[in-house]
Chains A and B, each alone.
Chain A
Amino acid sequence: MNSEAFENHILPVKNKLFRFALRFLNNEEEAKDVVQEVFIRVWNGREQMDEVQNWEAWCMRITRNLSLDRIRSMTRKRTQPIEESFNVKNYGLTPQESAEHHESMERISGLIAGLPEKQRQVIHLRDVEGYSYNEICEIMEIDLNQVKVNLFRARNAVREKLMKIDAYGL
């Protein structure tokens, strides 16, 4: 692989890697650092690239490992969730509706952040990034059964909380 192939094939996945790292780290700068490190690792390991069947999943796996390493090495408290800016232009909402929308997006962000780590990863990989179960197995280095169990638990935990919020405004 030369730097041109790197630029055309590897670099475009940066946003997926970034979102995945962000899921762990909750901090954009840290997530960007992780993505940069992933790219350096990929470049250094480019000789093995031919053996890798799904290099995107491979990049995602490195992102996951580096993010987990970073969390472990961070003795400091987890950073506050970043002020996420949600795109509300598409809906043509009134200011009040837009505030409500923003609030509900933040609530869901909080719900997902509150899930156990594996569930959080699985639901992100499946529902945000749209990976197949097999790809998720590869990225997370767990078996198919565990992927399904974690996804089931994650979706239902979120659903339950959403129903509670809907019913009691909690």
Chain B
Amino acid sequence: MDSKKIEELLEKYWDCETTLEEESLLREYFQQPEIAEKYREAAPLFRYFGEQKNKTINDSAFDKRILPAATKKDAKVVHLIRNSMRIAAGVIVLMVAVWFMRNELRSDQVSPEDTFDDPKMAFEETKKALMMISKGFTRAEQETRKINLFNEAQKEIQKSDSEKSQL
């Protein structure tokens, strides 16, 4: 392209009368390394525009991130299926656990001899149980009396000590 044409285009450019094609011609022209001295103010500007256009999102994972994020409805369906599977698995585990626990409890339970039908027998059973407790208490009381011996001995010692000091 001759320099006259460039000059003309530049003038039109500054007046905002260039078309898009003419502007891209200018951009192309100023991409070459050898530029006439008189265009020194315009050349970097057009180079700048050209370079800006090459600026891209410098992130290879961007598309992968954007697609599921943007097209959420599709992603939601997948999630729903996945989530319902999770819930179903949880419920099954819970049911199996409950079933095992019940079995375990049933086998552990020793059903006592039924005394409900006979009040006399029930009374006897209760009495027996209470007697057992009471027997335990009496035995314990006897044992604790032995501890009292120590207390008495301590008192005796204290008494004799105080008598000595008085003398």
Sorted from nearest, which 5 A-B pairs have the closest CB atoms? A39-B70, A162-B41, A3-B71, A104-B44, A108-B48
Q: Are B56 and A18 in contact (CB under 8 A)?
A: yes
Given A105-B47, A109-B48, 15 other A-B contacts at CB below 8 A? A15-B56, A18-B57, A19-B55, A35-B66, A43-B72, A87-B54, A91-B33, A93-B33, A107-B44, A130-B20, A132-B20, A155-B14, A158-B45, A162-B44, A166-B41
Known: A32-B62, A109-B48. A90 touches B41 (CB 8 A): no
Q: Which of B51, B57, B70 contacts A15 (CB 8 A)?
A: B57
Report if A55 contacts B (CB, 8 A): no
Q: Is the interface of A mostly helix, strand, loop or mixed?
A: helix
* Of listed B42, B66, B67, residue having the most chain A CB within 10 A: B66
Residues of A within 8 A of B57 (CB): 14-15, 18, 32, 35
**How far apart sit A108 and B42, CA to CA, in the bound complex (Å)?**
11
Residues of B within 8 A of A165 (CB): 41
**How far apart sit A93 and B34, CA to CA, in the bound complex (Å)?**
11
List which A103-129 residues lie within 8 A (CB) of chain B. 104-105, 107-109, 124, 126-129
Known: A105-B51, A108-B48. A6 touches B31 (CB 8 A): no
What are 23 A-B residue pairs whose CB atoms fall within 8 Å in the complex? A6-B71, A7-B63, A11-B67, A15-B57, A18-B56, A19-B52, A19-B55, A28-B58, A35-B66, A36-B70, A43-B70, A91-B33, A104-B44, A105-B51, A108-B44, A127-B49, A130-B20, A130-B24, A132-B20, A152-B15, A155-B16, A159-B42, A166-B41
**How far apart sit A90 and B42, CA to CA, in the bound complex (Å)?**
19
Which residues of chain A have a CB within 8 Å of any CB of chain B?
3, 6-7, 11, 14-15, 18-19, 22, 28, 32, 35-36, 39-40, 42-43, 86-87, 90-93, 101, 104-105, 107-109, 124, 126-130, 132, 148, 151-152, 155-156, 158-159, 162-163, 165-166
- Minimum Cβ distance to chain B for residue A71 (Å): 20
Report if B146 contacts A (CB, 8 A): no
Beta-carbon contacts of B30-45 to A below 8 Å, as 1s and 0s? Answer: 0101000000111011
Q: Are A87 and B51 in contact (CB under 8 A)?
A: yes
**How far apart sit A42 and B69, CA to CA, in the bound complex (Å)?**
12
Q: Are B52 and A92 in contact (CB under 8 A)?
A: no
Residues of B within 8 A of A108 (CB): 44-45, 48
Report if B137 contacts A (CB, 8 A): no
Residues of B within 8 A of A18 (CB): 55-57
Residues of B within 8 A of A93 (CB): 33
Known: A40-B70, A43-B72. A105 touches B48 (CB 8 A): yes
Closest to B74 in A: A3
